[in-house]
Amino acid sequence: MNAMKTTTKVSNNYLKRILFAALASMCLVATSQTPWEKGALEVSSNGHYIQHTNGSPFLWIADTGWGMVQQLTREEIDLYLDNRQKLGFTVIQTVAFWYPHGGGMEMGPHNAANTYGFRPFSGSEDMPNTSEPLVVSGGGPSAPNDYWDHMDYVVQAVKKRGLYLALLPCWGRAYITPQMGGAQQEFTEEEARTYGGFLGKRYKDEPNIIWVLGGDAKAQIDGYDKNANLQQWDRRNVFRAMAEGIAQGVTGHRPKWNEKHSAWNKVFITFHPDGDAPDNSSKWFHSDEWLTANGVEVWRELDQVYPTMLGDYQLNKPVKPSLFLEGSYEYGSYRHVCGWVTPVKIRRQFYQTFFAGGAGHTYGAGPIWSMRGNEGDYNCGYTWQQALDFPGAIQITNVAKRFLMDHKWHQWIPNGNSILGIGEGENLKTAVTTESNDMVIVYFSNNSNCEVTNILKKDAEAYWFYPRDGQKENIAHFKVNESRDMIPPDGWEDAILVLRVD
């Protein structure tokens, strides 16, 4: 516990800034329209970000609540979602059919009951019939008598708080691919299509559902993977069938995964891959018609966030947005000491996502994602409730979110021409310009120097921004083409330098 107390010890000024930002975020939630009133989500005209049909950009800042549906009561769901809404998250990621793991507790079983004792499918506890969801008449979201009534409660609880639900039909790593201890394939191609159809039809009228296939899964292994100790397999057909089923359930049409069809415009689907970059959705499905946006996971290889996201940004046949769907969890041990993933490492992942042209970022806290307990080193002794207000979550949902909105994040173009001496690892410097060519923005991952040049067409005002608490420190204007050796203010762990045309 002492380590956490040390990492969260902050100054009074810092607390004031964060609390002010949190209150501002709460006011925005309370007074603004629900986001889907701006129209359904779609890909922008340049292909790099997500927008509503009225043209307004959508900023994906998600939280990882994988075990929520299976593990939590209705009261616990409300507690969790109230916190995430107030902090300013815009998306919640969870799994409809989750293989229980994490939290220091035993994995499985395959047809695990939720907290009310209801199993998702017919069959035995460890042998589900995935083509037969176990639906019992007479219940409802507030008084469930089956698993899917409780799933309905989650959908409604997320919606009434103005949040999107990024919903994985299943945890693919355990149920489709042979990647997990105790894994067994529960879905054939036809079972996946049937199950996708069930979910699509059940939630076709819900405006806040984003579909996420995968589940920490590699869709294909071409040959023996010595690092993962995995033999060759190919499950792309199963995931594609699930996408087809979802589209059929939502629209009533039967589009094929590889053909253009208006039905694909009615469902927003991405894919949550395994964490071994560059094994992202783009490796297997980039040209598939069902894949609206690519998905990326970088687990503990933090120096791979920027190059992995940038690699997806540079794909152009076709151009698609890329979402960072899972990274290193705040206060997860990762076989290091507890607290190895500090708030500054959370910030680095976040900013490097967007400075690489990413369309969205997903945060996670080590004790929260499994929502199963606090046993073992992974959760470092914390329950998920105690982890709700970890500082990294506050810093990205308030300080970082406001910075992105104030600095035209959807116009950002990765552009390293303004910096010399970019460094690597924790020394990495990344830069963007805007489409309107009125800003150069440089992210310093730590307190080290590099040369910065004003490549804009005019003189620019300049200032430092501290991602930890939102401090702003003005500096002398940059002349056109002027270069300076720049280093963040003393004591700052990371920093953003902004050159902005007056």
d(CA 154, CA 147): 11
Closest CA to 490 of 469, 466, 474, 470: 466
Is the CATH number of domain 2-410 2.120.10.30?
no
Q: Model-level pTM? A: 0.93
Looking at residue 32, what is its pLDDT?
60
Cβ neighbours of residue 365 under 8 Å, at least 6 residues apart?
64, 329, 330, 331, 332, 384, 387, 388, 390, 392, 393
Cβ neighbours of residue 22 under 8 Å, at least 6 residues apart?
86, 87, 88, 394, 398
Closest CA to 308 of 357, 264, 346, 345: 357
Give the position of tokens 């694909």: 264
On whether the CB atoms of residues 69 and 116 are closer than 8 A, the answer is no
* Residues in a beta bridge with 412: 434
Handedness of CA 418, 424, 427, 430 (dihedral sign): positive
What is the architecture of the domain spanning 416-501? Sandwich (2.60)
On whether the CB atoms of residues 410 and 57 are closer than 8 A, the answer is yes
d(CA 69, CA 92): 12
Name the stretches of the chain with pLDDT < 70: 1-32, 224-230, 333-335, 374-378
User: What do you get for the CA distance between the two ends of the chain, in Å?
Assistant: 48
d(CA 465, CA 461): 13
Cβ neighbours of residue 216 under 8 Å, at least 6 residues apart?
171, 172, 173, 179, 180, 272, 273, 274, 275, 297, 326
Crossing angle of helices 147-160/74-87, nearest 10°?
20
On whether the CB atoms of residues 351 and 344 are closer than 8 A, the answer is no
Handedness of CA 217, 222, 225, 230 (dihedral sign): positive
Question: Which amino acid makes up residue 339?
Answer: G
Question: Which amino acid makes up residue 243?
Answer: A
d(CA 343, CA 345): 5
- Report the relative pairing of strands 209-217 and 269-273 from DSSP bridges: parallel
Express each pLDDT in 266-308 by its tens digit: 999 999 999 877 789 999 999 999 999 999 999 888 899 999 9
Looking at residue 276, what is its pLDDT?
75
Long-range interactions of 151-154: CB distance < 8 A, separation 24+: 151/69, 151/96, 152/202, 153/74, 153/77, 154/68, 154/69, 154/77, 154/94
Give the position of tokens 């369309």: 359
Residue ranges of the domains in the chain?
2-410, 416-501
d(CA 395, CA 28): 17
d(CA 78, CA 161): 10
d(CA 215, CA 339): 25
Closest CA to 207 of 76, 396, 33: 33
- Locate the DSSP E strands across 220-264: 220-221, 233-234
Question: Which amino acid makes up residue 495?
Answer: A
Looking at residue 9, what is its pLDDT?
35
